[in-house]
Structure 1
Amino acid sequence: MSSRRPLRWLALSSLFVATPALAQTGSIGEQRAIEMAMTDNPSLRAALIDVRQADQQVLSAEGTFVPILALDFGYTHTESPRASSTGEITKSQSDNWGAGAELRHTFPWGTQLTLRMEGNRTTSRVPVTSVAAQTATLGPTYGLTGRVSVVHPLLRGSGTTIGEAAIRQARLSRSVSERSRDQAASQLMRDVLVAYWELWYSDRATDIEKQARKLAAQQRDYTERRIKSGDLAPVDLLTFETRLSQLDESVAVAESSRRQKAVELSRLLGKDDPAGAISTSADAPPADLAAPVSLGAAQQAAMAQSPDIKQAEAQVTQARDKVKTAGENERARLDLEGYVQGDSLAYREVAPVASRFATEPAVSAHVGLIFELPLSGQTRTADRRAAELAVDSAQARLDSTRQSVRAQVTKAMVDVDTAKRRVELAEKTVKVAEQQVKAQEQRYASGEGIPLEVQQAEDSLRQARLSAERARVDRAQAVLTLEHLTGRLLSRYANTLSLPEGPRRDSAYLALRRPGPF
């Protein structure tokens, strides 16, 4: 894996400390919102924990081929009864003290090598005659044994494909966890930014409704003064009172919607903000977000870089690797085994044991085959078929993910083009509506117009402004969706975060440091 630096929020997330309340957060920008989500969102923390868990599983699997040292020490007392020709029963006794050291190692290709050294001290007491209860003590006798044993599989468990299966699976599981983490991070970024701009729109919509309400109140007060001066009939005031009540309701609805959007954004940030105190500091949705030049370029980028597709591809790779070892435990076993052993003895002296073992040991050797065959292949066949079906299932999910991503890219491209056109048309509509309001106000002031015409013009202006803001937000959200689908969202925000040196540079986001395809 290429060397790369971990993101700051990835390092901070290892602390796993979430702030429960959104105290004194106030107004935040989109960059700050991303940083807060990357540090405190519990769903992303869970994905990061999964990667750390997978790292430990890899370390555990890699420890499979570490040599094992075994030490043993023991004492054995043995009594053996004997029957004489006269029917008398006598017993011989022996006492044995033994100590041994053994070093075992299994190689990736399946060979097991064992080195063992064993020493013992034995004393025996045997009857001298079968008549008298007299015994003779023999020893102590000192012995030293050394053995080198080798077992090599010829069928079951033979080769690195089988021997290293646990390591490969652990690494592939880590890759799946990393892809899941990337997908979770990209999806979280997209959701946070969408929620951020939804809150921004709710703020703007609330402001527009309040401005309309303020203007309606001013018109109501102006009409009331004209009624008092005798210029208008009292019935004219009812139109403005009705309009003011309608706008009061619109303001209440806008404020309620704004609070809901604030609570949703706070949830994504990993905060608790039931009062909806959080607000946005951006002046307008970013207009410099670049969409792909064509639908073909967008789909090509998505097929190569989409976090969803990469996650599904990693799952297919993992499933295919499992096929290599499926049913291996039910395969016929044929092991070649052998050992060479040296022994030496000394009577009542310890020193000669080692010298005799080195110069004139009693050598034993053995070579043989061990064959084992299950009498039914049902289990192995079923295991292999299940593994193959798992590959088919993973491949089908990958195909479905690719199809879904292509459809989402197409829809997002349509949304981008439509929103761009809507922004242009809404801005023109706002200009025309502003002129219409001025014209109707002048006509009403001169006595040629009626209050309803003024209200209709103001409604048109309010709706035009809301439509313009909605179109800007929709375009930004569509581009953000495209960036998520094509993997560019991770790269864009990774490049804006400060990246400290970390102890595990090889476990950071490779995708975050990769240039985009368009």
Structure 2
Amino acid sequence: MTLTRSVPLPWLASLAVIATCTLSSAARAETLTAEEAVGRAASQNPTLRAALLEATAARQAVAAEQGARRPTLSASVTGQYTEAFAGGEAGLSRSGSTTVASNVALRYTTDIGTGLEVGASADTSWRSLADRATGPSYSAEAYVSARQPLLRGAGTDAVLAPIAQAQASAVAAELDRELAASQTALDVLGAYWELWYAEQAIGVQEQALAAAQRLLADAKARAETLGTGTRVDVLQFSTAAASIADALSQARATRASRAIALGRALGMDPARAESIAATGAPPSLGALPAAAALVRAASERSRELAALRADLDAQRARVGAAEDADQVRLDVFTTASVGTLWANDALAGLALPGGRPAFSVLGGVDVEVPFGGGRASADAARARTQLAAAEARYQARAEAIAAEISALRVSLAAAADQVALAAETARTAGELAEAERQRLQLGIATSSDVVQAEQTLREAELRRLRAAVTELTSRFQLEHATGALLERFASVLSRRSS
């Protein structure tokens, strides 16, 4: 049977336009490897940059607390003029005094809470009574003062608690930065290989479309020229080609969305991100470790668990400080000073009465007891409760990570099996499609048999590619949970994010 007119194929014109646009986009594509994508994210990803700034702020907090432990020097100079009235035999009289005083002191608190102060002061004064003026007179004093807490504020646990908290918070912030770097690498790798799959899917659809077009051309030749084909065969292959063309259009749209998703992880705007292209093939990551080894590695190398442990250390330091504040204040103190006084009209130069200065010693005990318990008791109880809650959260998260690792390993083993099965299925489907094409040439197969075989081949190739990407991303998720992913890309991340 010979057809007298060709079948209209309006979708071929649309397909040509799509292909032209694709070729133009490919010419402008920016090709990246997976390592290059991770490196670019390390320098441009805003989430990772925020984590880096938070770690820097935590280190600055440690420097601030250490600076607060340094000795302080204080100095002052004051002047005062005072008038007063005094009564006497001659009636009221006016007296006045002018004083200039100066003081300098050095203060320091030791690691065990001892407050030390060393200082000196000097005064110069002039006095006037009625019409008689005296002075100037001078005085000078040097002193040493010490105060030692016995309960509240005593010991290194209380004094160094702010530094301990800041240091633990800095460690936690640094580990959070490393965790953010690992998460960023995981996100980038997931988006990268999804883009790679989308590009490979386009290739599969294009190959399928080319095969469908060849079958369509052959069917038309047999029907219109040789007279050995039927219009049904032409319609069958035309419909199949149109369906593949639609799938190809969808695959290209998916590829664009995957490129935009990767660009977002790289800190790129969508317009630029659409030109990104993935290159290479999924790498081999080696043998899969045993489940017990993975759980052990997670407990030792997981940045998330390490950050939670650092938070626990900071919480314990806060508990110690709160419990210290919930004590009676009992301080012993002493001050020893030496001073002298001289005046121009009484002594010559710096001569001292008795040949020595005047000495003074002061000592005592300070006690402060809050009435009714005060706020400190409630603060200490709250701090202990918060620590217990943090420990429970850590335990829950550690158990969750162990379960997650076990589940990921099971999924990864299944994904590896799926890769082998999908590869074998794709090979068999290829052989079947070729056999059906040969049978069609011999006239012992129908067009629907060939179309079905071609569709099976296309689906098998897509499943094979999907299985490869699933295995790879599952392995990266497992390495992220155990802390190995950061080590894999440590050189790239540290070089670009520091």
Does TM, scored on the shorter chain, surpass 0.5?
yes
1:93 aligns with 2:89: no
Instruction: Report the equivalent of 2:404.
Output: 408
Determine if contact 1:141/1:346 at 8 Å carries over to the other structure: yes
Instruction: Report the equivalent of 2:288.
Output: 291
2:51 to 47, 72, 75: 47
Instruction: Report the equivalent of 1:424.
Output: 420
Cα deviation, residue 85, structure 1:
5.8
Give the whole-Å Cα distance in 1 for the aligned partners of 2:287 and 2:55.
32
The one-letter amino acid of 1:250's match is: A
Q: Percent identity?
A: 30
Determine if contact 2:42/2:493 at 8 Å carries over to the other structure: no
Instruction: Report the equivalent of 2:303.
Output: 307
Determine if contact 1:330/1:374 at 8 Å carries over to the other structure: no
Determine if contact 1:344/1:353 at 8 Å carries over to the other structure: no
Instruction: Report the equivalent of 1:273.
Output: 270
The one-letter amino acid of 1:477's match is: T
Instruction: Report the equivalent of 1:78.
Output: 82
2:371 is paired with a residue whose SS is coil
Give the whole-Å Cα distance in 2 for the aligned partners of 1:224 and 1:265.
44
**Do the aligned partners of residues 340 and 349 (structure 1) sit closer, same or farther apart at CA in structure 2, a change above 3 Å counting?**
farther
The one-letter amino acid of 1:267's match is: R
Instruction: Report the equivalent of 2:20.
Output: none
1:26 aligns with 2:23: no
Give the whole-Å Cα distance in 2 for the aligned partners of 1:94 and 1:320.
57
1:159-189 CA distance string (max 9 Å, x none): 1110111110110110110111111111111
1:138-158 CA distance string (max 9 Å, x none): 111111111111111111111
2:151 is paired with a residue whose SS is coil
1:124-146 CA distance string (max 9 Å, x none): 1113xxxxxxx211111111111
Determine if contact 1:422/1:471 at 8 Å carries over to the other structure: yes
**Mapping for residues 466-485 of structure 1, pairs under 5 Å:** 466-485=462-481
1:116 to 111, 116, 119: 119
Q: Figure out how many residues of one structure are paired with residues of the other and give that number.
A: 469
The one-letter amino acid of 1:417's match is: A
In structure 2, list runs of 5 or more residues that go unmatched.
Answer: 1-27
1:377 is paired with a residue whose SS is helix
1:192-242 CA distance string (max 9 Å, x none): 111111111111111101211121122112212222112222232111121
Give the whole-Å Cα distance in 2 for the aligned partners of 1:107 and 1:354.
37
1:259 aligns with 2:256: yes
Determine if contact 1:42/1:270 at 8 Å carries over to the other structure: yes
Determine if contact 1:323/1:384 at 8 Å carries over to the other structure: yes
1:401-435 CA distance string (max 9 Å, x none): 11221122112111211111111111111121111
Determine if contact 2:233/2:447 at 8 Å carries over to the other structure: yes
Give the whole-Å Cα distance in 1 for the aligned partners of 2:152 and 2:178.
38
Runs of 4+ more than 3 Å apart: 327-330, 349-359, 495-500
2:245 to 245, 248, 251: 248
1:60 aligns with 2:57: no
Give the whole-Å Cα distance in 2 for the aligned partners of 1:358 and 1:318.
59
**Mapping for residues 62-211 of structure 1, pairs under 5 Å:** 62-84=66-88, 88-127=91-130, 135-211=131-207
Specify which structure has the higher proportion of helix.
2
Instruction: Report the equivalent of 2:379.
Output: 383
Cα deviation, residue 54, structure 1:
0.8
Give the whole-Å Cα distance in 1 for the aligned partners of 2:30 and 2:92.
99
Give the whole-Å Cα distance in 2 for the aligned partners of 1:390 and 1:187.
28
2:426 is paired with a residue whose SS is helix
Cα deviation, residue 267, structure 1:
0.9
Determine if contact 1:139/1:347 at 8 Å carries over to the other structure: yes
Determine if contact 1:441/1:454 at 8 Å carries over to the other structure: yes
Give the whole-Å Cα distance in 1 for the aligned partners of 2:32 and 2:400.
34
Greater Cα offset, 62-71 or 229-238? 229-238
The one-letter amino acid of 1:83's match is: G
1:325 to 315, 321, 339: 321
Give the whole-Å Cα distance in 2 for the aligned partners of 1:179 and 1:498.
13
2:296 is paired with a residue whose SS is helix
Instruction: Report the equivalent of 1:515.
Output: none
Give the TM-score taking structure 1 as reference length: 0.86
Instruction: Report the equivalent of 1:132.
Output: none
2:489 is paired with a residue whose SS is helix
The one-letter amino acid of 1:280's match is: A
Give the whole-Å Cα distance in 2 for the aligned partners of 1:220 and 1:25.
32
**Do the aligned partners of residues 286 and 340 (structure 1) sit closer, same or farther apart at CA in structure 2, a change above 3 Å counting?**
same
Give the TM-score taking structure 2 as reference length: 0.89
Determine if contact 1:327/1:379 at 8 Å carries over to the other structure: no
Greater Cα offset, 77-86 or 311-320? 77-86
**Do the aligned partners of residues 80 and 498 (structure 1) sit closer, same or farther apart at CA in structure 2, a change above 3 Å counting?**
closer
Determine if contact 2:342/2:350 at 8 Å carries over to the other structure: no
**Do the aligned partners of residues 499 and 47 (structure 1) sit closer, same or farther apart at CA in structure 2, a change above 3 Å counting?**
closer
Instruction: Report the equivalent of 1:439.
Output: 435
Determine if contact 2:152/2:327 at 8 Å carries over to the other structure: yes
The one-letter amino acid of 2:258's match is: K
Cα deviation, residue 84, structure 1:
3.1
Cα deviation, residue 288, structure 1:
3.4
2:447 to 435, 448, 451: 451
Superposition RMSD on alpha carbons, in Å? 2.3
Determine if contact 2:437/2:450 at 8 Å carries over to the other structure: yes
Determine if contact 2:108/2:116 at 8 Å carries over to the other structure: yes
Give the whole-Å Cα distance in 1 for the aligned partners of 2:326 and 2:191.
54
Give the whole-Å Cα distance in 1 for the aligned partners of 2:108 and 2:47.
42
2:275 is paired with a residue whose SS is coil
Cα deviation, residue 499, structure 1:
6.0
Cα deviation, residue 373, structure 1:
0.9
